[in-house]
Chain A
Amino acid sequence: MPPLARWLLRRSAQIALVLWGAATLAFLGMRLVPGDPARAIAGGVQASATPAVLDAIRAQYGLDRPLPVQYAIFLGRLLRGDLGRSYQLNQAVGSVITEQLGATVALAIGAMVLGLTLATVLGLLTAGRPRARALARAFEFCSISTPGFWIGTLLLGAFSFHLHWFPVLGEDGLAGLVLPWLTLTLSIAGVLSQVTREGVEHALEQPFALTARSRGATENRVRLRHALRHAALPVLTLSGWALGELLGGVVVVETVFARQGIGQVVVSAVQGRDLPVVTGVVLLAAVTFALINTGLDLLYRLVDPRMRQVAL
């Protein structure tokens, strides 16, 4: 078997293990939260369901069985790809997630692309240039130390309420995406741009940069053709972190901007103790992380030929 296939196979097994662990933790977590799931299904405490109704619900959802049995049933369903039905929405979890996934993916990918672009431009332009670097550092400091909800609120205040450039709420196509994108972008761009600049500066100090200059290469050529690729390596490593920031940020941004999306789904599911939906979202996050990290590992080898020699 070629090494790459063997590596992918091993990776898949590891991912499966991670998913199992994530599902188990989600299952246990929701059971450990105080309160009665049957009451949640019945519509919460305010719904004041009778004990008979609650019993019926318990029987229907299998909540009266011992925990290990419930766990076994839960795993069995998962293996068949059945995430169950949402307690609150009376809808299959799979379709709840797929309905909302598009909006969130658009948000996250847009922010990632913007963040990487901003970081690359800032890093390339300010590396090794003390004054520009000082300015960029001030920006990065603000970006890193300001929480996402506050950035979002400030952007809303400035551009929506004050300048009326963008809609305050809702899904008005691209215009409605701009401020959420910016909010998420700013939450990751600071760190990414710091790392990019450091990478570029480190590369520019290496002998090969001097060699390139001694060949008559322009400063732009040295930075773009040589240094940037070296800077990409640490940035790639950080992309996994950036993804986590984005997933967390999505929840905040969707709340602040009142947007549809996975973030909203998960907030209401946790509040309503909607176990199947929470589990579904947790698994989705785990799958995303695992796949993206696998992709990053492959990308790493693509960017750095020296990595290809390292055993897979």
Chain B
Amino acid sequence: MTESTRTHAPEASHPDVPEAAHAPPLVEIAGLSVDFATRHGVVRAVRDVDLTLRAGQCLALVGESGSGKSVTARTLIGLAGEGATVRAGTLAFEGRDLLRLGGREWRRLRGRRIGYVLQDALGSLDPLRRVGDEVAEPLEVHGLATRDDLEDRVIGLLADAGIPDPEERLLQYPHELSGGLRQRALIASAIAARPSLLIADEPTTALDVTVQAQVLDLLRQMKDAGTALLLISHDLAVVARMADHIAVMRAGQVVEQGPATHVLTQPEHPHTAALLAAVPSLDAGPRTATTLAAPVARAGTVLAEAAGSGTGPLLVDPAVSKTGPRSPGAAAGGAVDVVQVRAVTKTFRSLDGRRRTAVDDVSFTLAAGEALGLVGESGSGKSTTARLVLAEFEPDAGSVLLDGEPWSGPRERDRRARRSRIQLVDQDPLGSFDPRFTVEQVIAEALGPGAPVNGSEGGRPEAPGSGVRGGRPFGSGAGARRERVVELLAAVGLDAGFLVRGPARLSGGQRQRVAIARALAPGPEVLVCDEPVSALDVTVQAQILALLARLRREAGLSLLFISHDLGVVRQVCDRVAVMKDGAIVEIGEVDAVFRAPRHPYTAALLAAVPRLDTAWHDTARPLNGPATEPATDRDTKGIR
């Protein structure tokens, strides 16, 4: 065992552990190491991991992506991956030594004794096969059902997983189901053969918050019915509801493990503390970049980048900065509205010819320097609203104004000169980077042709505090251009060493930083951020949010911040608009809306958010029961 591993008091002392504690554990792992032979040498993915899981209990493996959680779990089904070398002192399931199993014995175990639920149910169900066939596969493989009763069994399984109308669903294909139903189908398949252990690898990561709550409930029911659960998540808040024990992994090692309450409330390893600190909280409290960065900085080793990012040079023009950085709160009062959205409506024609209203009579304003959050579940019209604000397409009714001038309406040719004022930061920018470009080229391209900086800015009303937006006397030529790119990189906390990197060689957080630098390049007033941190680990997420907050504060940017994550919105935004079915059901100051939601939908959204403090023994949740999921079926007829 490594020095950094801390194990808390023996499990038996924990009040929630049943008498079964004295029986041999279902899963016993000691000294597990997994190495991968790659072209660049051996990668030690998992090092010296000890874990124990007893029947009917839930063990949560928590850590950032790449920390070795999934690999650890997959050793239990013998699918650690290609080129993996698994070594362990003990690797036992139901008392059997897994290290001695041959191919046939492994297959008898998989799906039969151990069920495995992957994240991303769209990719994890074979898209070319019917849902029923997918759910039936374990029964077929293990010969657990005859041809005649197979369909009845599948219907029963789908119903058990809380899928309405199972007779119809089993004939459908995965893409015809909503994300929540797909995840349920995947769980139905994993438990088809009544395994004694269910491994769930990020089972709710891609789901809306209310659907996530339902899927967690389903898993909890499985656990209550006696199935042991190995839950893998990057999100401590998700785990807080379910887990009896938590093991925190980092860089292939378990750095801390113990009873859930203990790990959550009295973390001993700094990495656990950092993970806890980075979880976006709904509660009122620190929202500014500096205070957010504080607990992160305390974590020291882990998040050096975040701590350092606070000191990066910002492109504040000396002349402009005399007016002082804008305080976010002041933005709402008396300031000019940069963006005005007036009663916009947008409908799309779906394939069957019917029209679907994606955005329904939506109005809001975005003041200079303000951050407005747009929250709602998938299909609620958030992204369409963002696209309208970006004038990617015209609204059917209503209008959008930028700096008081018509933004929707004019021909694109007349709009182009003003395009630089409003920029987009997308969820996963990798797709928008030319893979053959270097980071320098990616950002330089956004500077526009020829003139390195503010050629297109002439004559528009200058908002104060626009340091990042140029105004600096730049020379011409490649040198000045590069200088500008380096400055933009510095503004997002990256050094000049990144200039020559290819997009593929960036981590998720670095990629998002580059995307932000690119968005800043033309000197915008408004950043439209569409789920900018949804694809990121929670600690990296905190860094990016801190960066956005700092840019906003120091450069006076306005943010239209779209997210399904209420905690994230809470951290970043001054005001929040809650969208449902294309309409804004509630809009107001973040504190007020979160503290006392007026619309029942807002209240339901807030209640569904996993919290650290409600912990795992809290059973009262508002969205219990079988999935009716009226809202989630919407994704099947989504915009695209």
Contacts and interface: CB of A to CB of B under 8 A. Distances in A.
Interface of A: 206-208, 210-218, 221, 225-226, 229-230, 303-306, 309-311
Nearest to B189: A215
Contact of A210 (B79, B114, B175): B79
Contact of B124 (A211, A229, A310): A211
Given A207-B123, A218-B107, A230-B128, A212 B351 contact: no
B112 A304 contact: no
Given A226-B126, A226-B129, A306-B175, A211 B118 contact: yes
A216 B128 contact: no
Contact of B110 (A213, A226, A230): A213
Given A211-B118, A226-B129, A309-B351, A216 B112 contact: yes
B34 to A, nearest CB: 16
> Closest 9 interchain pairs by CB?
A215-B111, A214-B116, A216-B111, A216-B110, A207-B124, A208-B126, A207-B123, A215-B138, A305-B173
Interface residues of B, number: 32
Specify which of B79, B108, B126, B190 lies most central, judged by the most chain A CB atoms within 10 Å of its CB.
B126
Nearest to B110: A216
Interface of B: 77, 79, 107-112, 114-116, 118, 120, 123-129, 134, 137-138, 141-142, 173, 175-176, 186, 189-190, 351
Contacts of A310: 351
A215 B118 contact: no
Contacts of B120: 207
B125 A214 contact: no
Nearest to A211: B124
Contacts of A305: 127-128, 173, 175-176
B83 to A, nearest CB: 11
A14 B236 CA distance: 58
Contacts of A304: 127-128
Nearest to A204: B82
Given A207-B120, A306-B173, A213 B79 contact: yes
B77 A212 contact: no
A174 B466 CA distance: 82
Given A216-B110, A217-B107, A226-B129, 16 more contacts: A206-B123, A207-B118, A211-B124, A211-B126, A214-B79, A214-B110, A214-B118, A214-B190, A215-B138, A216-B109, A217-B141, A218-B107, A226-B128, A229-B129, A305-B176, A309-B351
B129 A306 contact: no
A216 B107 contact: yes
A232 B115 CA distance: 29
A229 B129 CA distance: 9
A143 to B, nearest CB: 28
A305 B172 CA distance: 9
Contact of B116 (A211, A229, A309): A211
Nearest to A221: B141
Given A207-B118, A229-B128, A303-B128, A214 B123 contact: no
A68 to B, nearest CB: 44
17 contacts: A207-B118, A207-B123, A208-B126, A211-B125, A211-B186, A214-B79, A215-B110, A215-B137, A217-B111, A218-B107, A218-B141, A226-B128, A230-B128, A304-B127, A304-B128, A305-B127, A309-B351
